[in-house]
Every structure is written in C-alpha cells, then in structure tokens.
C-alpha cells in the first residue's frame, strides 16, 4: 500500500505490524513514535496531522471521530472475537486493498471475521 501510511494502536500485535512491514507497508506501532500511554484524542490528532490511517481494536476512536465531526483520520476498527495476529493481518490486507480510495478520503471501517462495514467521515447525526 504505497500511498497509504498506517499507525497501529498498542492493541495490534507487533507480529501483525512486522508482517505488514515485510509486505512493504509504511506502518508503525504507537510505541515507536509516541508514549504507549498517549491519550486517544492525542493519537487521533497525530494520525490526522501526519495523514496516517489508524488501525485499532479500541471502539473509543469511532466515538471521538463522530462526536468531534472530524473528516480524518481514517480508522480501521478490528472487531474479531479471537484476534490471532495472522487472521488480523489477512483481514487488514483484504480490507485495505478493497477500500483504498475510501481510506484516502476518510472513513471508519468496522472489520469482523467475514465482513467489513464503513461510514464516511465526518459522521453526521441526521
């Protein structure tokens, strides 16, 4: 994914991040660039400022984006019951390849074992 850059929240396995790096992805874990204890809003602001897609298992980011009316950053929410790194890696690769253009513009994607649903940003409450 040459055009997109990613930041993986601390709840994403280093195994997943390393596998994506091996595939040529520009991805870092939060702990590589910020304190592991960085607040969610600060992480979102960092991702927005540096135009990175955030990959997380934390649903708080969707709420912050919705309530704040933000247009970026795109967020990929992993909602898999048994989050094994190889399964998460496969799902991320598939979703990003299918939704690259949308991720560039600004979306929240909710990913489970077999489906992915997304909403465009900003989220409006009409």
Show pLDDT as tens, one digit a residue, over the chain (126 residues): 458 999 999 999 999 999 999 999 999 999 999 998 899 999 999 999 999 999 999 989 988 998 888 999 999 999 999 889 999 999 999 999 999 999 999 999 999 999 999 999 998 766
The answer regarding whether domain 5-120 maps to CATH 3.20.80 reads no
Sign, Cα dihedral of 36, 75, 20, 5: negative
Pairing of strands 75-78, 107-111: parallel
| Residue 90, helix vs strand vs coil | helix
- What gap in Å lies between CA 43 and CA 35, rounded to an integer? 10
Query: What is the pTM (predicted TM-score) of this model?
Result: 0.94
Element of type H or E holding 62: helix 60-68
Q: What is the pLDDT of residues 64-95, one digit of tens each?
A: 998 888 999 999 999 999 889 999 999 999 99
Beta sheet of 116-120, edge-to-edge order: 26-29, 5-8, 53-56, 75-78, 107-111, 116-120
| Residue 11, helix vs strand vs coil | coil
Tell me how far CA of residue 18 lies from CA of 9, 100, 107, in angstroms. 14, 20, 24
Would you state the pLDDT for residue 124?
78
Domain boundaries of the chain, sorted by first residue: 5-120
Tell me how far CA of residue 16 lies from CA of 31, 53, 71, 74, in angstroms. 14, 15, 27, 19
Would you state the pLDDT for residue 83?
82
């Amino acid at each position: 994914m040459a055009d997109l850059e990613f930041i993986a929240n601390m709840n994403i396995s280093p195994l997943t991040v390393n596998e994506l790096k091996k595939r040529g992805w520009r991805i870092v874990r939060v702990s590589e660039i910020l304190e592991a204890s960085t607040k969610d809003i600060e992480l979102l602001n960092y991702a927005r400022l540096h135009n990175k897609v955030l990959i997380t298992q934390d649903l708080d980011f969707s709420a912050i984006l919705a309530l704040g009316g933000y247009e970026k950053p795109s967020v990929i929410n992993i909602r898999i019951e048994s989050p094994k790194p190889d399964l998460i890696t496969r799902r991320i690769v598939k979703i990003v390849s299918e939704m690259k253009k949308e991720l560039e513009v600004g979306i929240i994607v909710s990913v489970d074992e077999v489906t992915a649903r997304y909403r465009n940003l900003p989220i409006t409450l009409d």
